Amino acid sequence: MASLDELKRTFFDECGELLQDMETGLTDLQDGSGSEDTVHAVFRAVHSIKGGAGIFGFEGLVEFAHVFETVLDSVRHGTLHQTPEVFTVLLTSSDMLSDLVGMSRSGEAIPAGHASECKQALEQLLGKGPAGSSNGGEDAGDFAGLDFKPVPAGGGDDDFGFTPVRSDDADGPAGDGKKSYTITFRPRPEMLRNANEPLYILRELRGLGALDLVADLSGLPPLSDIQPDQPYVSWSGTLRTDAPRKAIDDVFEFVVGDCDLSVVEEEPPPAAEAAPPPEMHDDVAVAAPAAPVAEHKKPGRSQPAADAEGGKGGSANKKQATTTRVDLDKIDRVVNMVGELIIAQAMLGQVVQGLSEEVNGRLSQVLDQTIHHTRELKESVMSMRAQQVGSVFQRMPRLVRELCMKTGKKVRLEMTGESTEVDRTIVERLADPLTHIIRNSADHGIESPEDRLAVGKSEEGTIHLSAAQRGGRIVIEIKDDGAGINTERVLRKAKEKNLVDQDVSLTDDEICNLIFLPGFSTADTVSDISGRGVGMDVVRRNIQDLGGRVTLKSERGKGMTIQLALPLTLAVMDGMVIKVGENIYVMPMSSIVECLHPGSSEAYNLLNTRGMLKLRGELVQLVYLSDLFDVKSNARGILESVVIITEAGDGAKFGLVVDELCGHQQVVIKSIEDSYGRVPGIAAATIFGNGKVALILDVEKLSELSAESMMPGNSTQPVVVSATTH
Amino acid sequence: MPAAAALKVLIVDDQFSVRQMTRMTLEQLGIRNVYESENGKDALNKASVQPLDLIISDYNMPEMDGLALLRAVRGHPAVRKLPFILLTGRGDRELVVKAAQAGVNNYLVKPFTQVTLREKIEQVIGKLS
């Protein structure tokens, strides 16, 4: 049994989802993409928060939610029109509700009058004084003055607690206005499939009067042949009742098309004599002109059967996703086990390779199959951990609204790709960097309305937030149409703070990237908004911690684009195992464009470079892994090497020169940062089936490292990395 | 006098936490056979296959709300007599009137206490033992 605290926690988790529904709904309504259903959904969200808050005793929350709900109810019923002013109040109120939920969750006391201003604004919308006070005299849990009498259920000799209407016995006077009906009822398989239970129908029939039925068991097969979903029994007999014919038809209303049914009214017996109870036979002839009961389908009747089959009606399309809550730890345990499984499998692969040809052949077939399944298992588990980035994006509209209020700027936030899925951990750790970047954009990037008009832009600035999956990565882009980065100012600041040499000459791109340096902040006055001691360096650091990369493009006067490229998962990846000399490394498959053995006509030597490769008419810079990591290569020259063409973040290709490719493998990512700190060019490590450790290359960084080592004045200083895989 | 331990009750609410809370309160009353549905449609399906003694349903739910469920139950031959208690908010006076017309057995204003819940149930199915 869950404890009250656990239940409260669940309630707040639900509140989080409800608040998100509410925000999304309100935003949709505001930009006109909402429908009537959206209004209902928003109302329901607030209503549910109120309901739950009441049950769990959060009075402050209930009080505010109540007024909010009342206003939404007016919107729902069309008595309050959806004007921009109304939306302003609704959006502010939704922020307030989030705040109150947050406070209730953390156990903070809600300061007196905290929500009063917002509440007043809501009440004003209703055009009257305080909206029906939440406990207006109904604190007893009942509606005073309401004439409601609880309806006791009938006596209890039936499962449903209702008393069947007793017929006055069978031998009573016949002239009591009662009629006799001969009924035969044979369910068809469809009836059971539509979740209708014959027993219930018979019980219902019994409720109408004196029912005398005989079951026909002749259709019953031997026990071994019985199919549980087939009806084998039919019934026939009489019903004596004073209920109208319609009452009988009603009983069969839901099954009339799914059974063979006949209901025939018998001739009333002569009034003087008591009618003998009709004899029942299995083969009762129902010869009388049967008034067919069938085919009187009523439109719009509610029939659970249709849904039980699912997928038929239009309503099935709107079927809610059925979800179950699972502790994240449990999923992580599965993820870890899958990781271990992959390692064990690799070990198995090694063993198999060492076996004789004959055994090997059969075994490796099975192994291939296992590998296939493991891969699927990994993907399923990863998708369990996946979450839509929308959950982080949803926090941004509010942020922008608040920024607009504080700065007097006009900013519209557009979002696309919210449904892109990425590992949960990444989503969670994305919130801070994203918040910071958007704050920056709104605070520093977008100009004031006057300034914008002066340079011929529209008064309202736009920040476009998008997410998309590209290859094995997810790319999140934050693009604004503001002033872009003021390169002179950035360079001046950087020099003032001695972050660069005084006489350095840098390209605009390089200057823009200075803002990622630790200790850099151009804000002249630390503003309430961006200046929280968190600079872009922290953003970059956060993204890098996730195995991601930040790139920035700025165009003076036109705006700035920041791109975050992130891995889809943090646990397992598809890797290419490569070898340089005796050292083995792993390269993420997602960063490989192609691999090739260069011919002599394709390799070039140019000044200041170790070489270029001509690839289909395009020159590609070569990067020797042996040089970068200062390890010995076994290949004598480029012609004995393999070149792996990869793509750096800015789209530029370069060729990584290695000795050989050892194969494609799923590898489990193990961080080495805790033990070794950050090593440039190395993303992480992995363990192979033979127990050896290999380093996973950080391809982005490799291209940077090689560019640095090639810069004039920089002696080619190799990075001190040596993978010891012995 | 219905034995609490033998009663079969279906809770219908779209909020997991509210269902759990109601379940907890019912269990404190000794009612152990508690079933749950998160919307009206599912409730109707459950009710038509699972013998029940009582439905306690919220009003506000997606797909099929509590009132629609009540009407569907009352129109379903197999379960039309099933005792039905509707949960309402504090302001929903009109709803109670509509529910009464649709044949509700009782209503219960949220939030409720164990005492009120017991009282409302007993008004419908008699004293619990």
- Sequence spans of domains, chain B: 4-125
Helix B16-28 × helix A4-30 angle, to 10°: 150
**pTM listed for this prediction:** 0.51
Task: Output the pLDDT for position A267.
Answer: 66
| Token pair of A392 as six digits | 């982080």
Which segment of A112-116, A323-327, A557-561 scores lowest on mean pLDDT?
A: A323-327
| Average of per-residue pLDDT across A45-70 | 87
Q: Which comes out higher in pLDDT, residue B83 or A161?
A: B83
Q: Read off the pLDDT band of B95 (50, 70, 90).
A: confident
Which segment of A466-470, A600-604, B89-93, B101-105 scores lowest on mean pLDDT?
A: A600-604
How confident is the model over A580-637, as pLDDT tens digits?
988 999 998 877 888 888 877 777 665 555 678 888 778 888 888 888 888 888 887 7
**In degrees rounded to 5, what are phi and psi of residue A615?**
-115, 105
Which segment of A2-6, A662-666, B50-54 scores lowest on mean pLDDT?
A: A2-6
- The answer to whether A206 contacts chain B (CB < 8 Å) is no
d(CA A552, CA A535): 15
B112 → closest Cβ in A44, A56, A141 = A141
Task: Output the pLDDT for position A141.
Answer: 56
Per-residue pLDDT at A187 exceeds 90: no
Per-residue pLDDT at A136 exceeds 50: no
Is A640:A595 a contact under the CB 8 Å cutoff? no
Per-residue pLDDT at A388 exceeds 90: no
- The answer to whether A162 contacts chain B (CB < 8 Å) is yes
CB contact under 8 A, A153 and B49: no
Q: Which comes out higher in pLDDT, residue A504 or A12?
A: A12
Q: Which comes out higher in pLDDT, residue A448 or A718?
A: A448
How confident is the model over A193-237, as pLDDT tens digits?
777 778 878 888 888 888 888 888 878 887 777 777 788 888 888
Task: Output the pLDDT for position B70.
Answer: 93
A135 → closest Cβ in B21, B51, B90 = B90
Q: Which comes out higher in pLDDT, residue A367 or A535?
A: A367
Per-residue pLDDT at A171 exceeds 90: no
Residues of A in contact with B122 (CB under 8 A): none
Is A182:A249 a contact under the CB 8 Å cutoff? no
Residues of A in contact with B4 (CB under 8 A): none
Which segment of A339-348, A706-715, B75-84, B106-115 scores lowest on mean pLDDT?
A: A706-715
- The answer to whether A316 contacts chain B (CB < 8 Å) is no
Task: Output the pLDDT for position A268.
Answer: 55
Task: Output the pLDDT for position A367.
Answer: 86
Q: Which range in A65-74, A172-181, A226-235, A337-346 is most confidently predicted, on average pLDDT?
A: A65-74
d(CA A149, CA A101): 37
CATH class, domain B4-125, is alpha beta
Per-residue pLDDT at A713 exceeds 90: no
Average pLDDT over chain A reads 76
* CB pairs A-B closer than 8 Å: 165
Helix A36-55 × helix A4-30 angle, to 10°: 160
Q: Closest Cα to residue A321, out of A427, A396, A393, A419?
A: A419
d(CA A574, CA A594): 15
Q: What ipTM is given for this predicted complex?
A: 0.79
Q: Which range in A155-159, A544-548, B60-64 is most confidently predicted, on average pLDDT?
A: B60-64
Per-residue pLDDT at A338 exceeds 70: yes
CB contact under 8 A, B83 and A161: yes
User: To which residue do tokens 């009983």 refer?
Assistant: A251
Residues of A in contact with B96 (CB under 8 A): 143, 146, 148
CB contact under 8 A, B77 and A200: yes
Task: Map residue A82 onto helix, strand or coil.
Answer: coil
d(CA A72, CA A66): 10
How confident is the model over A241-272, as pLDDT tens digits?
888 888 888 888 878 778 888 888 876 554 44
Task: Output the pLDDT for position A160.
Answer: 38
Task: Map residue A349 onto helix, strand or coil.
Answer: helix
Residue of B nearest to A63 (CA): B90
Single-letter amino acid, residue A679: V
Cα A285 to its chain centre, rounded Å, is 61
Residues of A in contact with B62 (CB under 8 A): 41, 44, 320
Residue of B nearest to A205 (CA): B77
Task: Map residue A215 onto helix, strand or coil.
Answer: strand
How confident is the model over B4-21, as pLDDT tens digits?
888 999 999 988 888 888
Interface test with A, best of B50, B60, B124 (most A CBs within 10 A): B60
Q: Read off the pLDDT band of A395 (50, 70, 90).
A: confident
Residues of B in contact with A52 (CB under 8 A): 15, 17-18
3-state helix/strand/coil string of chain B: CCCHHHCEEEEECCCHHHHHHHHHHHHHCCCCEEEEECCHHHHHHHHHHCCCCEEEECCCCCCCCHHHHHHHHHCCCCCCCCCEEEEECCCCHHHHHHHHHCCCCEEEECCCCHHHHHHHHHHHHCCCC
| Average of per-residue pLDDT across A564-578 | 80
Which segment of A110-114, A427-431, A579-583, B16-20 scores lowest on mean pLDDT?
A: A110-114
> Distance of CA A106 to CAs A9, A68, A101, A103, A670, Å?
10, 22, 9, 5, 35
Beta partners for residue A228, in sequence order: none
| Average of per-residue pLDDT across A298-322 | 42
Per-residue pLDDT at A133 exceeds 60: no
Q: Closest Cα to residue B87, out of B74, B104, B71?
A: B104
Interface test with B, best of A19, A200, A303 (most B CBs within 10 A): A200
| Average of per-residue pLDDT across A134-151 | 61
Which segment of A75-89, A509-523, A627-641 scores lowest on mean pLDDT?
A: A509-523
Task: Output the pLDDT for position A204.
Answer: 82
Per-residue pLDDT at A678 exceeds 60: yes
A54 → closest Cβ in B45, B111, B126 = B111
Task: Output the pLDDT for position A532.
Answer: 41
CB contact under 8 A, B123 and A150: yes
Task: Output the pLDDT for position A294.
Answer: 41
- From first CA to last CA, the distance across chain B in angstroms is 6
Task: Output the pLDDT for position A81.
Answer: 84
Task: Output the pLDDT for position A174.
Answer: 44
Q: Read off the pLDDT band of A321 (50, 70, 90).
A: low
CA of B105 vs chain A CAs: smallest distance (Å): 4
Per-residue pLDDT at B69 exceeds 90: yes
Task: Output the pLDDT for position A217.
Answer: 80
For residue A516, give the DSSP letter.
G
d(CA A265, CA A460): 78
